[in-house]
Amino acid sequence: MQQAALTAPSTDIIQTDRETVWHHLTQHSQFEHSDPMVIVRGEGMRVTDATGREYLDATSGGVWSVNVGYGRTEIADAVRDQLVTMCYFAGTAGSEPGARFAARLLEKLPGLGRVYYSNSGSEANEKAYKMVRQLAHMEGDGSKSKIIYRDRDYHGTTFGALSSTGQFERKEHYGPFLDGFVSFANCCCYRCPFGKTYGSCDIDCAQDLETVIQREGPETVGAVVLEPITAGGGVIPPVPEYFPIIEAICRKYGVLLHIDEVVCGLGRTGEWFGYQHFKVQPDIVTMAKGVASGYAAISCTVTSESLFQRFKALPADRLGYFRDISTFGGCTAGPTAGLVNIDIIEREDLLANVRQRGAQLMDGLQALKAKYPLVGDVRGVGLFAGLELVQDRESKQPAPEQTAMAIAKDCSDQGVLIGRTNRSFREFNNTLCLSPALIASSRDIDDIIEALDGALMRCG
């Protein structure tokens, strides 16, 4: 690694960034009176910005990606060696790391049989939708092509993925969207869409899938796509009964179950995949962020062997094969980094660490809830948690967005980076998000809670 180049962060880079880069999710007018943050170095749980300031990163790289932490020379070395041996070949050919990583990944995904490579979460989801639609067209008359998605879930930035997204704040102003995407209810008990209370409800949020399938006509519905735990939509884990009901409805109507593990995949929740907490068998699983912990761009659309065999049975002379490609799905950096990423998670027993540290994080957050009425709800699984902020607990009126911004800023001033959900003026969008790397120590969790405690006290 080029350590020398990295040891002297330069503030010039801030000016260059300000003048040249269009940042994600950013209103740039703010940089008229503040500097953009430019991160120049990372080691373990910590990152350093271009001014030399160090932070404890409770976001895993801003958006839940760097699962095994920063500065893993083992991954960089493996990628370097692979790139000089064979960097890239795309199209119809495979690669050695591609085959090895697929085999390794499938060991973690019982019941699934094939791995299709691309390079972002959005793209992985698009591939899945195309698979569903091609089967609808080639096995039938094309009508069984609708995709049902859930309110509050996010599936990506491209038009198919955005059309299947249930977040107002991501979709507003980008329409028109694609036909054939239909939503059903979210599963947030804190703001139950049916006004009910868990314990005295029939898990109406899951049953709503059946209502929507019946309304649309089961013969028109090809798949349902869900996050195992809604992430950017407010960190919303479902109740234990939820997924078995969803799966039973899918089986009843011949609808494929597609689970989007872009955030939860590869250990974030203390299982390899988020859905594995809920004892369901998906037909399609998509993943991206944690697959190579951000060291390379890779995403996977993993399908059951039976879905793959349905493609094999299509008439090749009538375009009966998956006519899809991803240019950078052929770069070997991704699967190479993915292999070492799995090695690290196993060798360091990080799933156990996530369960332990996740319990500590949740205890700490519950204590903050008991202390500050501003915290309306605390939700999460493993090292993946959200605090929803409210003006008052009775009405559950969302706290103003400025409050969440002030808390995040206060934490950052204390040297701890935390996340928050997307900006909007509606409920759910004032949730603070915590997703430290899977290597977090007990001390790191204490430091995160302490920073939040101070920030809540000052900004509440």
CB-nearer residue toward ligand PMP: 132 or 231: 231
Site for ligand PMP in 225-254 (CB under 6 A): 227, 231-232
Q: What's the CA gap between 460 and 447, in Å, rounded?
A: 19
Closest residue to ligand PMP, judged by C-beta, is 121
Q: What's the CA gap between 361 and 363, in Å, rounded?
A: 5
CB-nearer residue toward ligand PMP: 226 or 365: 226
DSSP secondary structure of 258-274: EEE-TTTTTTTTSSSSG
| Least distance between ligand PMP and beta carbon 62 (Å) | 10
| Least distance between ligand PMP and beta carbon 299 (Å) | 6
Site for ligand PMP in 342-381 (CB under 6 A): none
| Least distance between ligand PMP and beta carbon 153 (Å) | 7
156: contact with ligand PMP by CB under 6 A: yes
Q: What's the CA gap between 273 and 200, in Å, rounded?
A: 29
Q: Which residue has the tokens 């009775």?
A: 394
Closest CA to 228 of 183, 258, 259: 259
- Longest CA span, the chain: 68
| Least distance between ligand PMP and beta carbon 229 (Å) | 9
Q: Which residue has the tokens 């119809």?
A: 92
157: contact with ligand PMP by CB under 6 A: yes
CB-nearer residue toward ligand PMP: 49 or 227: 227
| Least distance between ligand PMP and beta carbon 163 (Å) | 13
CB-nearer residue toward ligand PMP: 302 or 459: 302
| Least distance between ligand PMP and beta carbon 312 (Å) | 28
CB-nearer residue toward ligand PMP: 9 or 156: 156
Contact 285, 261 (CB under 8 A): yes
Site for ligand PMP in 75-94 (CB under 6 A): none
Of the residues 14, 288, 291, 381, which one makes contact with ligand PMP according to CB under 6 A? 288
Q: Which residue has the tokens 């409050």?
A: 403
Alpha carbon 225 to its chain centroid, in Å, reads 13
CB-nearer residue toward ligand PMP: 297 or 374: 297
Peptide bond connecting 400 to the previous residue in cis, omega within 30 degrees of 0: no
Token pair for 96? 């050695």
In a 13 Å sphere around the CA of 161, the CA atoms on its Cβ side amount to 19
Site for ligand PMP in 110-139 (CB under 6 A): 120-122, 125
Residues of 26-39 as b/e, b for ≥16 C-beta within 10 angstroms? Answer: eeeeeeeeeebbbb
CB-nearer residue toward ligand PMP: 149 or 451: 149
Q: Which stretch binds ligand PMP (CB under 6 A): 80-88, 209-217, 260-268, 398-406?
A: 260-268
- The count of residues interacting with ligand PMP (CB under 6 A) is 16
CB-nearer residue toward ligand PMP: 98 or 121: 121
60: contact with ligand PMP by CB under 6 A: no
| Least distance between ligand PMP and beta carbon 156 (Å) | 4
262: contact with ligand PMP by CB under 6 A: yes
CB-nearer residue toward ligand PMP: 157 or 424: 157
Closest CA to 37 of 14, 20, 57: 14
Q: What contacts 24+ positions apart, CB below 8 Å, involve 202-208?
A: 203/239, 203/241, 203/242, 203/245, 205/238, 205/242, 206/238, 206/241, 206/242, 206/243, 206/245, 206/246, 206/249, 207/245, 207/249, 208/184
292: contact with ligand PMP by CB under 6 A: no
63: contact with ligand PMP by CB under 6 A: yes
Strands 385-392 and 375-380: antiparallel
108: contact with ligand PMP by CB under 6 A: no
CB-nearer residue toward ligand PMP: 232 or 358: 232
- What phi and psi, each to the nearest 5 degrees, are found at residue 56? -85, 120
CB-nearer residue toward ligand PMP: 186 or 360: 186
Residues that bind ligand PMP (CB under 6 A): 63, 120-122, 125, 154-157, 227, 231-232, 260, 262-263, 288
